Chain A
Amino acid sequence: MNIKWFSKRDQLMVLALSVPLLARLYMDGQDAAMHRLALLIVIFIVAFGWNALFAKLMAKEIGAGQLEFAMLFALLLPSPVGWGGVVLATSFGWVFGREIFGGKEILPPALIAMAFAIFSFPDGGFETQWILSVRPDPLLALACLPGAALLLWKGVLRWQVVAGALLGVAVMLVLIDIPQSQQWWEHYLLGTFAIGVLFLAANPECAPRNKKARWLYGGLLGVLIISIRLFNPDQPDGVAFSILLGGLFAPLLDRALNWRGKT
């Protein structure tokens, strides 16, 4: 059976994600870092297992993508979380985010896995608490930048989406009264904002094809993120849900801006 471990984009993504992953491991401290690494391996194995199973059923070669998926999901996971929940969420994310669409990623599978985990275990995983990080993480956000620069240089980062998201957040914060306890810039450093916007939303597979549509899509994400953060006290992060919801609008935005037949 043929196995394709990496696609070209995969290699770039893995390289880009390694810096924030290292930063995350450093911030975790020794025990949590070992746990997160072990989870990463488990996620990789589970995702590969599903990938191989579906490849066999469909009689095609085993495609790439599980390492990128495992790194993203491991990065998004709050620390510490239980094993069982991660395995279930990985299976759900991989099968429903990818395999049922024949390997095409309409929405990022890592985020589908994350959303499943958040809804499944709102008050604790199989053995531990599932609490989203609500502190700003300047180090993590900073660590995302080299990878983003690499992707931008290689042309696999849709920068219009990032710019749109930054603007969307700013507009929302100006329009809505900013809570006293929080500095406005903290929203950019909070939770999974940097990872989500740079590596998931600006991904060519999920972002719209049309350039204007990318700006709108990014802006929509920014607006959604701030709306969820400010109006739902149960979701202090909101990035995963915003990208999932916003991603559904990407094809529509493409079509809306193209409807006179211009490209």
Chain B
Amino acid sequence: MNNFNPLKFWHSFLAMPNANPVKTIGVAFLVALVCSFMVSFTAVTLKPLQDANRLGESVASLTDMLDVLGVGIPEPRLVELSSGAYAKRDPGTQVELLPDQDLAGLGKIETVSTVYELSEGGRIKLVILPVRGAGYKSTLKGYLALKEDLNTIAALTFHQQDETPGMGARIMEKPWQALWAGKQAADENGVIRIEVVKGASEGVHEVDGISGATRTGSGVGDLVQFWLGPQGYGPYLARLKAEGVR
């Protein structure tokens, strides 16, 4: 094997009949090798750009919301959902939801979530909560902003959905999202009542649905209820209220 010539070896490999198993396996191997190299090269080189895009999308939606509300830069805080206490770090763990708790159709949710607080003179002025849930045929992701009483909705925006264009997808439109501003999440007894209704809405707990998109609308109502409820940010909001009283 002293005079091993790679070029000659390559030529003799190509000269083999295609039916030869060595050639078959060899071609399969080479094609797979070249292709996997090509794929991993693009994936690795482009990953930073893609990550930045994904982050930029929710940040853009958040900045939009802040612009509309005309408020400053809020402070991100990690919150443990079950206790409502602030967490030092995000363990990245998830818990399963029982079917009767799972109003938003999520299956499981994270144990620690990032919320955004805007305070003035030590008092909370605004909290922004990331929310998500099942619509008619896709997962809806958005932000819900609550005013200082932690009950009045300041704004609701969505930045991700794949609903029917012209129908459910209209939850992305500003005029519909604006309907949420000023609505009350819970009644005097603390029961969360906010919902999307078909036809004309009445009172502070109801929001007009989009015609032709009843399912998407009730999905939005359900996900807001879920995230304000005991499985979502309920304990956190309760803690803030208790501290506010003190």
Contacts and interface: CB of A to CB of B under 8 A. Distances in A.
Does a CB–CB distance below 8 Å link A and B in the complex?
Answer: yes
Interface of A: 122-123, 233-234
A233 B211 CA distance: 10
B128 to A, nearest CB: 31
B198 interface: yes
A123 B213 CA distance: 10
A122 B198 contact: no
A233 B198 contact: yes
12 contacts: A122-B167, A122-B211, A122-B212, A123-B210, A123-B211, A123-B212, A233-B198, A233-B214, A234-B211, A234-B212, A234-B213, A234-B214
Contacts of B212: 122-123, 234
A234 B198 CA distance: 9
Nearest to A124: B211
Interface residues of B, number: 7
Given A122-B211, A233-B214, A234-B211, 6 more contacts: A122-B167, A122-B212, A123-B210, A234-B212, A234-B213, A234-B214
Which 7 pairs of residues, A with B, have the shortest CB-CB distance? Answer: A122-B212, A123-B211, A233-B214, A234-B214, A234-B212, A122-B211, A123-B212
B167 to A, nearest CB: 7
Nearest to A234: B214
Interface residue SS majority, chain A: loop
A122 B165 CA distance: 13
A230 to B, nearest CB: 13
Nearest to B214: A233
A122 B211 CA distance: 7
A123 B170 CA distance: 13
B206 to A, nearest CB: 16
B95 to A, nearest CB: 31
A122 B198 CA distance: 14
Interface of B: 167, 198, 210-214
A233 B213 CA distance: 9
Contacts of B198: 233
A233 B199 CA distance: 12
Contacts of B211: 122-123, 234
A67 to B, nearest CB: 32
Contacts of B214: 233-234
Nearest to B218: A233
Contacts of A122: 167, 211-212
B41 to A, nearest CB: 46
A80 B167 CA distance: 22
A122 B212 CA distance: 6
Contacts of B210: 123
A123 B198 CA distance: 12
Nearest to A129: B211
A233 B216 CA distance: 12
Contacts of A123: 210-212
Contacts of A234: 211-214
A5 B167 CA distance: 42
B218 to A, nearest CB: 9
B90 to A, nearest CB: 39
A121 to B, nearest CB: 10
A82 to B, nearest CB: 16
Nearest to A130: B211
A45 to B, nearest CB: 30
Nearest to A232: B214
Contacts of B213: 234
Contacts of B167: 122
A35 B167 CA distance: 29
B48 to A, nearest CB: 43
A122 B166 CA distance: 10
A123 B212 CA distance: 7
Nearest to B170: A123
A49 B205 CA distance: 52
A149 to B, nearest CB: 38
B222 to A, nearest CB: 14
B217 to A, nearest CB: 10
A122 B210 CA distance: 10
Nearest to B213: A234
A122 B170 CA distance: 13
B176 to A, nearest CB: 12
Q: Which of B198, B210, B212, B214 has the most CB of A within 10 A?
A: B212
A140 B210 CA distance: 31
B210 to A, nearest CB: 8
